[in-house]
Amino acid sequence: MSQVAFLQPVGKREQTKVQNRQAILDAAREVFSELGYETATVRDIIRRTELAAGTFYNYYRSKEEVFAALADDGARRFAPILKSIRAQSHADFEVFVRRALEAYFAFLADEHENWEASRPPDEPHLHVRGETPEMTAVFNEVRDAMQEAIAGRKGPVSDPDYMAAACIAVAREVGDKMLERRPIDTRGAAEFATAMILNGLKGLPKAQG
């Protein structure tokens, strides 16, 4: 029999990879939530899947990589939400900022509520800093919204990279603090962050009509 007959079709092979990776991430969410990040081990994660240890290490080298992948997964799923908000805001800067922050804090609360409820207080939140393609996509979506607002004379005239970085930084820091509180107040966090960003940007030059 030809050796080719033993090979999986490319589509099937790629589908298996996606399924295995998702199984690992789903198991990691459960393990980190129940045991805490510091206590959890790679072995704990593997035991929650039907995968062999060797299969796990084909995808991730450590629990730190799995932790980072969970953050990337969240960024990947939030990016299309942000894109939709940008399309509906019609280059109106203030509308975009307000709606994006409301959506972000609601998304963050949904992602982290179970994790936060069970983790020890000295452990990190389930997201990381750094540059990955998924996080870059979110940054680019925010920056492009700034550029559209500037071009449409509906926002402050300033460096869109700086403005996007500032907005994301405020959202992250307020989000971290929001997750430390019980009950989680997404509305209060969104109102505060929106006021901070919009009022802070009032000091920037305005578009000349």
- Of the candidates 70, 77, 61, 78, the residue with the CA atom closest to the CA atom of residue 27: 70
Cα angle, residue 45 at apex, residues 63 and 40 outer, rounded to 5°: 60
Model pLDDT, residue 1: 45
Model pLDDT, residue 9: 55
Whether residue 33 lies inside any domain: the answer is yes
CB 35 within 8 A of CB 97: no
Domain range holding 29? 12-61
Query: What DSSP state is assigned to residue 155?
Result: S
Tell whether 29 and 114 lie within a shared domain: no
Query: What single string gives the DSSP state of each residue in 48-86?
Result: TSS--HHHHHHH-SSHHHHHHHHHHHHHHHHHHHHHHHH
How far apart (Å, rounded) are the C-alpha atoms in residues 201 and 173? 18
Model pLDDT, residue 111: 76
The predicted model scores a pTM of 0.70
Tell whether 68 and 19 lie within a shared domain: no
Find tokens 């869109």 and name the residue.
160
Whether residue 102 lies inside any domain: the answer is yes
Find tokens 């959506």 and name the residue.
103
Tell whether 74 and 26 lie within a shared domain: no
Tell whether 80 and 130 lie within a shared domain: yes
Tokens (6 digits) for 157: 């005239």
In Å, the largest CA–CA distance within the chain is 75
In the chain (209 residues long), the average pLDDT of successive 10-residue segments reads: 50 88 89 82 94 94 87 85 91 90 91 56 49 80 88 78 91 88 92 91 62
